[in-house]
Amino acid sequence: MAMVIQVVIRLTLYIDQAIIRNQKASYHFRQGIDNTPILCEASYVLLEYARTAMFMWMFIEGLYLHNVVTVRVFQEKSYYRMYSGLGWGLPVVMTAAWALTTAAHLRTKCWWGYNLTLYFWMLEGPRFAVILLNFLFLLNIIRVLVVKLRQSRTSELEQVRKAVRAAVVLLPLLGITNLVNMTEAPLDRQVWEFAVWSYSTHFLTSFQGLFVALIYCFLNGEVSTQSIYNYLCISYNFPVRPQY
């Protein structure tokens, strides 16, 4: 949901900017989001809230998966309210603090260049910390996986292949691919360097949901087997096997 919210806001802002620029070129000027006070700033506040909420839910996913694989401390039913409050509530506090600070110190129109100021690290810092923590969770998960694979009878090559596959599969789920988007934009370099940075960061960010859906649903063997089994059971009036 957080991904959908930020994509809708981005599309709305980009379409509005394209329409306004086209009208300026044809000498027909109309009011848009960019030149509407409060509405423009509110759009970026909501955008940054959605991004922060997305990172918080990535952290919750990493924390939950890490505890399930390693220590099994938390139970989903007992801590679901805590997860919801952390995922949706904490970003409200963080975004509000950043918005108030930016409104008090940044005087540019529609907060242009707010992501280049030091105040933006009030949001970007916790997001970077989430990626770092999820990376540590990933390393520990891979460590536990390697230990369990060594206890089995699989060959060493098969163990390495499964460990690497697990690491690659978890990268988009835990949001580690967003680390590229947090690198400093090469604004003072060649155009092709900025183009490579821009296309790669937008590709990894925009298609993150698609990566997760492909890996964990459409290309997952267990999900496909379960779906085919349930389809056959429904077709021939057999009892459907419950999913655990």
Secondary structure of 25-60 in HEC code, one letter for each residue:
HCCCCCCCCCCCCCHHHHHHHHHHHHHHHHHHHHHH
What mean pLDDT is predicted for residues 148-156? 70
Q: pLDDT above 90 covers what percent of the chain?
A: 17
Q: 102 or 168: whose pLDDT is higher?
A: 102
Q: Hey, which of 3-17, 167-181, 192-206, 218-232 has the most confident mean pLDDT?
A: 3-17
- Rounded distance between C-alpha atoms, residue 200 and residue 83, angstroms: 31
Between vectors from CA 169 to CA 135 and to CA 61, what angle results, nearest 5°? Answer: 55
Read off the amino acid at residue 220: N
State yes or no: pLDDT of 243 exceeds 90.
no
Q: How would CATH label the architecture of 2-174?
A: Up-down Bundle (1.20)
Could you report the per-residue pLDDT of 86-141, keeping only the tens digit for each?
Answer: 999 999 999 999 999 999 988 888 888 888 889 999 998 999 899 889 888 888 88
User: For residue 25, what pLDDT is reported?
Assistant: 55
Q: 34 or 135: whose pLDDT is higher?
A: 135
Residues 6+ apart with CB under 8 A from 224: none
Q: Hey, which of 19-33, 50-64, 195-209 has the most confident mean pLDDT?
A: 50-64
Asked whether the beta carbons of 197 and 170 are under 8 A apart, the reply is no
Cβ count near 242 (within 10 Å)? 5
User: For residue 61, what pLDDT is reported?
Assistant: 86
Residues 6+ apart with CB under 8 A from 112: none
Out of 72-81, 121-130, 190-199, 206-215, pick the least confident: 72-81
- Rounded distance between C-alpha atoms, residue 215 and residue 211, angstroms: 6
Token digits for 167?
A: 């690491």
Mean pLDDT of all residues in the chain? 78
